[in-house]
Structure 1
Amino acid sequence: MENSTIPRLELETFANEGYKVPLLDVQHYPVNSSYFVIHNRDEYPVKDYISPHRRKFYKIFHMTAGTGILTIGLHRYEMGPNEIAFLHPDEIMSWQTTSAETGGHFCLIHPAYFGHDAEHLLNLFKQYPSFETDKSVIQLTDAQSAAIKGYFENMYREDRGTSGDKKQAILLQLQLLLLESQRAGKNRVTTPVSEGYRYIYRFLSLLETSFQVKERDSLVKLKTAAEFADQLYIHPNYLNSLVRNHTGKTLREHIQDRLLHEAKSLLVQTDWGINEISDGLGFSGQAAFTSFFKKKAAISPSAFRKNATATITT
């Protein structure tokens, strides 16, 4: 194991001096989620969580009340009313609520939602400067915040309506939202993240890049907790304690959860056979994969696929 350039702290010292936040639940978006999701934060309060790579959704959220700490990549923002944030699909992000009060909206947009008739808007999203991690949060005036609240309310109403052209209406509101935010042009200043968050960020980054099953002949080499720690140049016990203390799960549990999430994604989003998925995920055989899946998900892989497919088509 090579020497690390990152300062080492005794665990007790680190716990007292760094990363003083509640437990962050590691959340993956559902594998069969809709391509467009919008919620009112009053009715759908956001809990403290951390979301790793490959969310596959652009996320925009607007705050009209309350406060919280948003971290995107290694950039930390202390957010409050009259602010809007833009999150790129490829970035690890976390949220910590710091007030009982809450207000505003958030929406998730999968790139596939735009379709061929709105490729220009998808290109706008790809080039929009506020999806960069150091420019993600914009401070709004009262008038700008009121306008953006109106766009969100229009999208919320259209999404729950039955109009045949509701998608076009939603896309129009999204474009107006981007324009209004760009006119504000006042990016919030970021603050450094703690050393502990850097470790967790790097572990989740490594964990995500270890699961890139995109083709039938792609093979995942399953790694142990010790191998992940070795890549970070720190002792496995130290990394395990750090991750467990701040996510509530051990390294091994995170590895298994990520493996299960990838298995679910492949079952829902591909037509691969169970044996092909088993091989791609590095299992010794289909029986071992089925046993792992049933133990973690309380359902067989074939039954999960059947249920998920029925949900999508109804």
Structure 2
Amino acid sequence: MENSSIPRKALETFATDSYQIPLLDVQHYPVDSGYFVIQNRETYPVKDYISPHRRKFYKIFHMTSGTGILTVGLHRYEMGPHEIGFLHPDEIVSWQTTSAATGGHFCLIHPDFFGRDAEHVLQWLRQFPYFLPGKAVIQLQEDQSHIINSYFATMLREAQSDSEDSKQAIMLQLQLLLLESQRAGKNRVQTEVTEGYGHIYRFLSLLESAFQMQDRNAITRLKTATEFADELHVHPNYLNSLVKNHTGKTVRDHIQERLLHEAKSLLVHTDWGINEISDGLGFSGQAAFTSFFKKKENISPLAFRKTTLAART
């Protein structure tokens, strides 16, 4: 039975909707990323993007100049200088730059970065209250912003060094950063997302929920574009046009990209056989999976696994 609180829009309604955000690049984090990545936003500017699925990385970013719009789940923040954002791995997020340039830093932190010796730091990160969508941004005093910027600068310097104790130095700066942010503890005012973005968020959430493969016996059952539209109670053409206008890609493109990303992740991070991955992803057989993969990547799944793992050693 349809949920009457969510109207099923006709295609004609789509023509009257206005879209206030530019094209968002769909950002899939590389399956072979390092466990800790840090960059300066001035030399590594952040493009407008939407990250549609779990990333496995916690992300922290600090702004010293510029403005932008951060959306975490269905929470929207208009950000500016002297603010810091915390992004949980499980949240769908997007970013839109609204100024000519932005300054500051960002870092990506994989849970495996900590290891057994720093389990307490990982637990602090996991329990840190500002990784919640409704508390994702903290407004800092200018002096607090300068202090946090110095922590980021030190982490960047240590990440680029060859010192044997650079990881310990990074860990120390990270703890000081969390402590200073927690002391600041002042959230930015958030606003509601547009109805159109809400539909995109729910579509990506439904797509992500299909990929919860925890063991070899799990089987992915992918829905069609029409089935996704039915679950969202909108016209299929409306959903497809909405998604394409925001991301430049159709619903079918997103389904195939997510399928490909999951295949890559399983090839790199598990020891499952090609036939097991093929079955788990819902292909009719190993030949169909190999054909799909080669068409997208110009390389066989087995060759991709060997090449990627060799590059990591």
Q: Which residue of 2 aligns with 1:185?
A: 185
1:213 aligns with 2:234: no
Q: Which residue of 2 aligns with 1:201?
A: 201
Q: Which residue of 2 aligns with 1:296?
A: 296
Q: Which residue of 2 aligns with 1:89?
A: 89
Q: Which residue of 1 aligns with 2:109?
A: 109
Separation in structure 1 between the aligned mates of residue 17 and residue 237 of structure 2, nearest angstrom: 19
Structure 1 residues 10 and 229, CA gap change in structure 2 (3 angstroms): closer
Q: Structure 2 matches for 1:158-307, cutoff 5 A?
A: 158-307=158-307
TM-superposed CA distance for 1:3, in Å, is: 4.8
Q: Which residue of 2 aligns with 1:128?
A: 128
Separation in structure 2 between the aligned mates of residue 300 and residue 244 of structure 1, nearest angstrom: 29
Separation in structure 1 between the aligned mates of residue 168 and residue 15 of structure 2, nearest angstrom: 50
Q: Which residue of 2 aligns with 1:60?
A: 60
RMSD: 1.4
Scaled by the length of structure 2, the TM-score of the pair is 0.97
Q: Which stretch shifts more, 16-25 or 136-145?
A: 16-25
Quick one: which amino acid aligns to residue 31 of structure 1? V
Separation in structure 1 between the aligned mates of residue 101 and residue 130 of structure 2, nearest angstrom: 26
TM-superposed CA distance for 1:6, in Å, is: 2.3
TM-superposed CA distance for 1:14, in Å, is: 5.0
Please give the secondary structure, in 2, of the residue aligned with 1:96.
strand
Separation in structure 2 between the aligned mates of residue 6 and residue 281 of structure 1, nearest angstrom: 31
Q: Which residue of 2 aligns with 1:40?
A: 40
Unpaired runs of 5+ in structure 2? Answer: none
Quick one: which amino acid aligns to residue 250 of structure 2? T
**Residues 16-74 of structure 1: per-residue CA shift (max 9 Å, x gap):** 55431101111110011001000000011000100022101000000001000000010
Quick one: which amino acid aligns to residue 160 of structure 1? Q
Q: Which stretch shifts more, 180-189 or 195-204?
A: 180-189
TM-superposed CA distance for 1:175, in Å, is: 0.3
Separation in structure 2 between the aligned mates of residue 124 and residue 185 of structure 1, nearest angstrom: 15
Q: Which stretch shifts more, 229-238 or 99-108?
A: 229-238
TM-superposed CA distance for 1:293, in Å, is: 0.3
TM-superposed CA distance for 1:212, in Å, is: 1.4
Residue 158 of structure 1 contacts residue 166 of structure 1 at CA under 8 Å; is this kept in 2?
A: yes
Structure 1 residues 299 and 31, CA gap change in structure 2 (3 angstroms): same
Structure 1 residues 158 and 12, CA gap change in structure 2 (3 angstroms): farther
Scaled by the length of structure 1, the TM-score of the pair is 0.97
Residue 18 of structure 1 contacts residue 195 of structure 1 at CA under 8 Å; is this kept in 2?
A: no
Q: Which residue of 1 aligns with 2:118?
A: 118
Separation in structure 2 between the aligned mates of residue 181 and residue 18 of structure 1, nearest angstrom: 37
**Residues 115-158 of structure 1: per-residue CA shift (max 9 Å, x gap):** 11111111111111111111110111111000000000000000
Separation in structure 2 between the aligned mates of residue 3 and residue 188 of structure 1, nearest angstrom: 33
Residue 70 of structure 1 contacts residue 96 of structure 1 at CA under 8 Å; is this kept in 2?
A: yes
Please list every run of at least 4 consecutive aligned residues from structure 1 whose deviation after the TM superposition is greater than 6 angstroms.
none
Residue 32 of structure 2 contacts residue 312 of structure 2 at CA under 8 Å; is this kept in 1?
A: yes
Structure 1 residues 155 and 11, CA gap change in structure 2 (3 angstroms): farther
Please give the secondary structure, in 2, of the residue aligned with 1:237.
helix
Q: Structure 2 matches for 1:132-147, cutoff 5 A?
A: 132-147=132-147
Unpaired runs of 5+ in structure 1? Answer: none
Instruction: Name the % identity.
Output: 74
Please give the secondary structure, in 2, of the residue aligned with 1:154.
helix
Please give the secondary structure, in 1, of the residue aligned with 2:60.
strand
Please give the secondary structure, in 2, of the residue aligned with 1:290.
helix
Question: How many residues align structurally?
Answer: 313
Please give the secondary structure, in 2, of the residue aligned with 1:202.
helix
Residue 37 of structure 2 contacts residue 109 of structure 2 at CA under 8 Å; is this kept in 1?
A: yes
